[in-house]
Amino acid sequence: MLMIVFGALLASFLMGVLIIRFLHVHARFTADHDLNGVQKFHATPVPRIGGVPVMAGIVAGACVASLKWQSVEMWLLLASSLPAYLAGLTEDVTKRIGPLPRLLATFVAAMLGFWLLKAGLSRLAIPGVDSILERYWFLSLLFTVFAVGGVAHAINIIDGYNGLAGMVSIFIFLALAYVSFKVGDISLLGLSLAAVGGLVGFLCWNFPRGLIFAGDGGAYLVGFLIAEVSVLLVARHPQVSPWFPLLLVIYPVFETLFSIYRRKFLQGRSIGYPDALHLHQMVYKRMVRWMVGSREARHLTDRNSLTSPYLWALTSLAVVPAMLFWDNTTALLGFVVLFVLAYVGLYRMIIRFRTPGWLVLRKKRKH
């Protein structure tokens, strides 16, 4: 298992070296030059094709796993991910693929997973609903497609600061690997470990220096794989509660749902309208008061990176109980409710300028 992680880490790390070293060759296609966008918080143009080293790492990890376990399912899962990954990567390079086409590509990827791997949700632990999903396969397909696409899009939404989405995804994949090990699912264990290694290799360059971004390709790839591994765990193993994966991804998923509610009902805008009011952005603006006002690149990068640990801590409040109670639906449901209440309470506290002083990170500029 360590060799899977190390192989994936090494491949991802080396691919990141090549992308950064030869930035001058491909920067006009791959670098993010929009430094003034409403959701931009970096100081210099940065390559946004971090999905390439992540994919390279996962493929390398899958190769190592195949030497021991010879599982074709990992390759089928990676093949299913290609529509989502390539749509995101194309947007990273061309800047011309809108959110809807990327989401539709993720739906296509979910359909491939449904047919190739029987990755379908037919069990939600909700009385009456489970029997309907089991009886009508097309309803199971429809629900699975929207769930997988929603999770992939949610990971993309929280991908806003150095190390944020990457570390959150590592937490989630570690939990998926743990439960896969507990139920003896070697294929899902191997893929989860490969994803961990690929993300760690990527984070060597992304956090804290922000030398490369995951981009849409990386975010959609990682989000899709999280969703698919979760669906397969629930579909294959009755002892795994369907609320286990929901609690794992509750932070990015509720961030997405809350953003839709905020834009549609509080602001009266389109749900696709970009703003700077996500929780991670509010943490950056009102809690990370590190060198506020400085326009030096190193200060902006430091402040960017200092934002992520706040959200890592928030994510751990969901991931840890999910790992402890992965087969207990009642406990998992309770923690989902507690997390939602904690999220809303934290957001209200920040937006109303009532954040406790001990949570605010301060450092003033020298005059």
Q: Give the 3-state secondary structure of residue 4.
A: helix
| pLDDT range class, residue 365, cuts 50, 70, 90 | low
- Which has the minimum average pLDDT: 157-171, 186-200, 281-295, 327-341? 281-295
Q: What is the rounded average pLDDT of the residues 68-91? A: 93
Q: Is the pLDDT of residue 316 over 70?
A: yes
Residue 127: predicted pLDDT: 86
Residue 226: predicted pLDDT: 98
Asked if residues 133 and 95 have their Cβ atoms less than 8 Å apart, the reply is no
* CB count in 10 Å sphere of residue 291: 19
pLDDT digits (tens, 9 = 90+) for 144-181: 999 999 999 999 999 989 999 999 999 999 999 999 99
Q: Is the pLDDT of residue 224 over 60?
A: yes
Asked if residues 53 and 85 have their Cβ atoms less than 8 Å apart, the reply is no
Q: Tally the domains of the chain.
A: 1
Determine what percent of the chain is predicted with pLDDT higher than 90: 78
Q: Is the pLDDT of residue 92 over 90?
A: yes
Q: Is the pLDDT of residue 330 over 90?
A: yes
How far is residue 74 from each of residues 64, 81, 123, measured CA to CA in Å?
11, 11, 23
Residue 363: predicted pLDDT: 72
> Pick from 242, 269, 232, 235: which is nearest to 38 by CA?
269
Residue 43: predicted pLDDT: 60
Residue 256: predicted pLDDT: 95
Contacts of 127 (CB under 8 A, 6+ apart): none
| pLDDT range class, residue 38, cuts 50, 70, 90 | low
Residue 290: predicted pLDDT: 78
Residue 37: predicted pLDDT: 57
Partners of 46 in beta bridges: 32
> 63 lies in which domain range?
2-363
> Pick from 112, 218, 103, 94: which is nearest to 165 by CA?
218
Q: Is the pLDDT of residue 39 over 60?
A: no
353: left (phi over 0), alpha (psi -120 to 50) or beta: left
Q: What is the mean pLDDT of the chain?
A: 92
pLDDT digits (tens, 9 = 90+) for 240-295: 999 999 999 999 999 999 999 998 888 888 887 778 899 999 999 999 987 787 77
Residue type, 185: D
Q: Is the pLDDT of residue 90 over 80?
A: yes
